[in-house]
Amino acid sequence: MAGCNGFLRSYGNYFKDASEDYYQRCNAKVEEYNHLDEDSDRGSPLETSDLGEEPSEPGQTIGPYTNCKHYTTGLFSTIYKTRLASSPQTLALKLTTPSQCQPPHNPKREARILTTAKHPNIIPLLETHALPSSHLLLVFPFQPLDLATLLHKHQQLGRQQARSIVRDLFSALAHLHSLGIIHRDIKPSNILLSSASASATSTAYLADFGIAYAPNDPASEPTDQKITDVGTTCYRPPELLFGRKDYGCEIDLWAAGCVVAEIVEGNGHDWSLFDAGELGSELALVKSIFETLGTPDEVVWPDARDLPDWGKMTFVKFPRKFWDELLPNTSSDGRDLVSQLVRYQSTERLSAAEHYHPSGYLLSQTFVQIGFYKRQKDPIAGYYKLD
């Protein structure tokens, strides 16, 4: 994705005129690019039907694994699925070629981060194999579906299931951020689910660490020169769109807030808090954020004055919308949670640690009622937990 500076200079006049002509031009290009998938790195959404009967054609051998069936293809990897003859476990094999990956994608760093950051809600890396032709194979337990499938297939999440998914997400983020690791691509399709049910054994896993940042990893960028072309379309925070390179874990929190909004408000229909347009453009996303949260000034967003691409053009002054208008089907506590994550000023976003406590309690009072949950205070610990 091109930098915000050049993009905004090229299309500044359209933004000022409410982008009508811009969208006409974009729509004219859609057919030209309709063979591309804007989420190509994710590939096809996981389907529960994929757990059914295997194709009759024999699979291929990859390293020590036989009968491997192609599952999906990403930007710099191909995913295969296989079952071990010695056990009922199904595996997901991520085949990569590190020499062909372009920053910020780095499968070797991904393997190192997953080895360092083991956690019950982070997808476990079972094995790695260096293969001929400079291939690297990462082996994971296969999960039957992801949150994007659940939300976009118009399936209504039960409150226990939604509660469990959000809790597991913030549990994973709290652990990552305590290590200084930034995932950099939080979105529903990277939240894998062990089951479509809301059983006590169902677990959500944060997955796809291909562009994750670890401060002490030799393949990571300098702290103040991080790559800004990270994140996916409508989950990218505004500081990335305006060129901030010294960002921190707060970019994950903005994206997590967008995911929570989809769970509590878009539950049962295809909806997202922000819209990056059919082509996933930065300009369309900036416009959507400003239309939703109001066009910020340096009082609302003090960090803006230090952003490389801030102040290079004049924006339409959109009024701020209120959260009860944006999330009309969500409780006040659910709206409070989203509003304290989705904020222009990154230092004002609540940290994952403020939401989650290892004992299972949630430290943020705003987190205890995500749309439909009761608030119950523990008289001893003083924390709030979900009932």
DSSP calls for 183-221: -S---GGGEEES-SS--TT--EEE---TT-B-TT-TTSP
**Which of these, 323, 326, 345, 336, lies nearest to 364 by C-alpha position?**
336
Bond prior to 124 in cis (omega within 30° of 0): no
Sign of the CA dihedral running 269, 163, 110, 103: positive
Helix (H, G, I), strand (E, B) or coil at 165: helix
Given the residues 146, 185, 252, 333, the one annotated as active site = 185
Distance CA 10, CA 106 (A): 31
Give the Cβ contact number of residue 90 at 10 Å.
Answer: 15
Helix (H, G, I), strand (E, B) or coil at 367: helix
Give the Cβ contact number of residue 79 at 10 Å.
Answer: 19
DSSP, res 63: T
Give the CA distances from residue 184 to residues 83, 208, 240, 316, in Å, rounded to whole numbers and listed in that order.
31, 10, 11, 29
Q: Backbone dihedral region of 273: left (phi > 0), alpha (psi from -120 to 50 degrees) or beta?
A: alpha
Residue 217 is a catalytic residue: no
Sign of the CA dihedral running 175, 123, 257, 197: negative
Provide the b/e sequence for 184-216 (b: ≥16 CB within 10 Å).
bbbbbbbbbbbebeeeeebbbbbbbbbbbbbee
**Which of these, 217, 212, 192, 188, lies nearest to 202 by C-alpha position?**
192
So which residues are the catalytic ones? 185
